[in-house]
Amino acid sequence: MMEENKTVQEEPTAAPQTNQFCEENVNETKKPQEEPSKEELVEKLKALLEQPTDEIKEKVEQLKVKFYRLCAQEQESIQDKKEELKESSEDYAPVVDEIEKNFRQLLTIYKQKKAEMHAKKEAEMQQNKLRKENIIDKMRTLSESETADVSGSLKQVRELQQEWKSIGAVPPQDAAALTKEYNLYQERFYDLVKINNELREYDFKKNLEAKTALCEQAESLQKRPDIVEAFRQLQILHEQWANIGPVAREEREALWNRFKEASTIINKRHQDYFEQLHRQEDENLQKKQAIIEAIRQLDISALTTSKMWEDANEKILSWQNEWRTIGFAPKKVNQKIYDEYRELCSSFFAAKTAFYKGVRNTLNENLKKKQELLKKAEELKNSKEWKTATATFVQLQKEWKTIGPVARKHSEDMWKRFTAACDYFFDQKKAEEQGQHTEEKENLQKKQDILKEIEEIVVGESAEDTFTHLKELMSRYSAIGHVPFKDKDKLYKRFRTACDRIFDQLHIDESNRRIDEFSKEMETKGNDSLLADRRRLVRQYETLQQEIKTAENNILFFTAQSKKSNGLLNDMQKKIDGLHRQLSDLEAKINLIDSHLQ
């Protein structure tokens, strides 16, 4: 295909749209002195709908701007009157009147007509596409034919060229490909039939003049202040370019580059213009989304007083004023975001109205709930079940915080009584804990005194007397209550060290020591604690039996398999012997518990 037949095809960005919502048009330029009424605008729109749909777009958009400007002014007037009368804005709920409904219905009819027109144009473009494809097929046949009737073929080509030019638009996505293929076979035909140079040069000259004129027109469009109109005119020039035949080969590239460069500048201006417009619309969208999010984040459930509601109301009014200063958002989301904004505002004012209607019932319900909590707190404040009562008081305090306010005449008195009950209980608990700490310190001193006696024992000739004396001291030591937690481990290690020294000198084995210590521990425990110890020891006993059984099976297996594993067998046997000793200790402890429980 020849270069001059290429067309810069760029997808135009969406043109700016006129907003349809009354609140969006507050910032429109000031209307003329004699502005038509809404009823007159409705009648004008009816009259426009009688005209061809493709000729009334701009007029319809202008009517929309004027109509919704009037809507906005009416809303502001109503709001101003409400403020002058000092009426609450809590009943704010924009209502669409019958005139606006009629106007919207007419707009719907217009949209339907426009959709039908577009569908008709689409069908026409599809038909045009088929006609051009048919011409291309004929051009292909002629370009591939070897007939000697050059004049006849040339006549057919000229007829096809005229028919091609007479055909209207085709689907945009197919236009470039069709033109490219058409020009390809047109070029092939000229090359095939070898038209005489004079005729060929004449065609080239006429085409050069026509395309040069298009270049000049495209270059003049660069200076047009109306960027959108310049872009629209450029598309017409491209369509004309595509329908003009080729020029001399040596002129083609330079001519096409000239036209393309002019087109690129216009396309860039058009693209920059709409990118800036879209950026501004996106910024407006972000600002409006921020306002919507701010309104949405307003926790209505947390507004429990009249003061809080009035503060929130001031915020809503401030956001509404800010909204009116913001321009359009992108058309595809503008209606949706405005509806969302209006719904949030309406919900807020409806909730505010409901709050003032139901606040008295809420205060009474809160009073009943707090009276119940107060009753429980005053009944529980003398409890000595410290752990259970503490948890209950904490829960009561949490519940109290979750309950909303009560009438001011009850609020202070109830709060004083509730806090007094809580403070009384926790003061009593604190005093009890301080007494317990004093007792633990006394127990520490007692155990340290006994430890000193044990550490001073000297094993004499009578081992039995020494052992009896040690057992008596150990029994006294075990009978003493708790000591401070931070001293517990250190004290126990000192006790074990002192006792082990004497056991070693008396040659008492470790197993007997453990049994003896366990026996002394039992003396300080109640039956419930001993039963729990017995269940734990029985579980350990059964587990140890299973472990011994497994180990004995393993040693039998190794004995049968190899006679050279004496070292491994000895280790396994030692392990089994140790497990049996542990089993004997557990059995002895269980028997001690059983004898103590009888």
DSSP codes of every residue in 464-494:
HHHHHHHHHHHHHHHHS----HHHHHHHHHH
Q: What is the pLDDT of residue 433?
A: 67
Pair (533, 426) in one structural domain: no
Give the separation between CA 7 and CA 47, rounded to whole angstroms.
40
CB 576 within 8 A of CB 551: yes
3-class secondary-structure state, position 250:
helix
Is residue 472 over pLDDT 50?
yes
CB 252 within 8 A of CB 4: yes
CB 425 within 8 A of CB 383: yes
- Select from 491, 497, 378, 373 the least CA-distant residue to 440: 491
The mean predicted confidence, pLDDT, of the chain is: 79
Q: Which of 210 and 86 is assigned the larger pLDDT? A: 210
Q: Which of 510 and 46 is assigned the larger pLDDT? A: 46
Q: What is the pLDDT of residue 590?
A: 82
Element (H, E) at 16: none
Q: Kindly report whether the global pTM for this prediction surpasses the value 0.85.
A: no
For the ranges 8-22, 86-100, 279-293, 369-383, the lowest mean pLDDT is seen at 8-22
> What amino acid is encoded at 231 in this protein?
F
Give the separation between CA 138 and CA 132, rounded to whole angstroms.
10
Residue 1: band (very low, low, confident or very high) from pLDDT cuts 50, 70, 90: very low
Q: What is the pLDDT of residue 22?
A: 36
CB 200 within 8 A of CB 190: yes
Number of independent structural domains in the chain: 3
In sequence order, what DSSP letters do the residues of 170-181 get, joined into one string? --HHHHHHHHHH
The residues near 280 (Cβ < 8 Å, ≥ 6 apart) are 327
> Across residues 195-206, what is the average pLDDT?
72
For the ranges 36-40, 347-351, 391-395, 564-568, the lowest mean pLDDT is seen at 564-568
Among the candidates 195, 223, 251, a domain finishes at: 195
Residue 29: band (very low, low, confident or very high) from pLDDT cuts 50, 70, 90: very low
Element (H, E) at 146: none
Q: Is residue 190 part of a domain?
A: yes
Give the separation between CA 230 and CA 222, rounded to whole angstroms.
7
Q: What tens digit of pLDDT does each residue of 378-395 get?
A: 888 888 887 888 888 889
For the ranges 18-27, 29-38, 423-432, 501-510, the lowest mean pLDDT is seen at 18-27
Is residue 18 over pLDDT 80?
no
For the ranges 22-26, 35-39, 210-214, 269-273, the lowest mean pLDDT is seen at 22-26
End-to-end Cα distance, the chain: 114
Q: Is residue 47 part of a domain?
A: yes
Q: Is residue 280 part of a domain?
A: no
Among the candidates 435, 450, 476, a domain finishes at: 435
Helices and strands, number each (H, E), in the chain: 17, 0
Q: What is the pLDDT of residue 13?
A: 33
Residue 304: band (very low, low, confident or very high) from pLDDT cuts 50, 70, 90: confident
Q: Is residue 329 part of a domain?
A: no
Pair (7, 141) in one structural domain: yes
Pair (66, 173) in one structural domain: yes
Pair (51, 184) in one structural domain: yes
**How many Cβ atoms are within 10 Å of 393's Cβ, its own excluded?**
20
> Across residues 169-182, what is the average pLDDT?
88
What 88-94 contacts at long range (C-beta under 8 Å, 24+ apart), as own/partner pairs, is 88/352, 89/313, 89/317, 89/349, 90/313, 90/349, 90/352, 90/353, 90/356, 91/349, 91/353, 92/345, 92/346, 92/349, 93/346, 93/349, 93/350, 94/342, 94/346
- Select from 79, 88, 103 the least CA-distant residue to 324: 79
Is residue 5 over pLDDT 70?
no
Residue 236: band (very low, low, confident or very high) from pLDDT cuts 50, 70, 90: very high
- Select from 213, 212, 211, 229 the least CA-distant residue to 266: 229
Residue span of the structural domain in which 379 resides: 374-435
Pair (72, 177) in one structural domain: yes
CB 226 within 8 A of CB 15: no
The residues near 187 (Cβ < 8 Å, ≥ 6 apart) are 1, 2, 246
Pair (559, 419) in one structural domain: no
**How many Cβ atoms are within 10 Å of 28's Cβ, its own excluded?**
14
Q: Is residue 95 part of a domain?
A: yes
**CA distance to 29, 35, 116, 463, per residue, from 32 (Å):** 9, 6, 35, 124
Q: What is the pLDDT of residue 9?
A: 36
Q: What is the pLDDT of residue 21?
A: 36
Among the candidates 416, 435, 454, a domain finishes at: 435
Q: What tens digit of pLDDT does each residue of 210-220 get?
A: 999 999 999 99
Pair (25, 131) in one structural domain: yes
For the ranges 8-22, 225-239, 541-555, the lowest mean pLDDT is seen at 8-22
Q: What tens digit of pLDDT does each residue of 403-456 get?
A: 888 877 888 888 888 888 888 888 887 777 666 677 778 888 888 888 888 888
Q: What is the pLDDT of residue 84?
A: 61
Give the separation between CA 462 and CA 131, rounded to whole angstroms.
131
Pair (427, 534) in one structural domain: no
Is residue 119 over pLDDT 60?
yes
Q: What is the pLDDT of residue 130?
A: 93
> Across residues 43-51, what is the average pLDDT?
86
Q: What tens digit of pLDDT does each residue of 346-368 get?
A: 988 888 888 777 777 778 888 88
Buried b / exposed e along 166-178 (16+ C-beta atoms within 10 A): ebeebeeeebbeb
Give the separation between CA 236 and CA 217, rounded to whole angstroms.
11
Q: Is residue 118 part of a domain?
A: yes
Q: What tens digit of pLDDT does each residue of 146-173 get?
A: 665 666 778 888 899 899 988 988 898 9
Q: Is residue 181 part of a domain?
A: yes
Q: Is residue 363 part of a domain?
A: no
Give the separation between CA 484 and CA 290, rounded to whole angstroms.
59
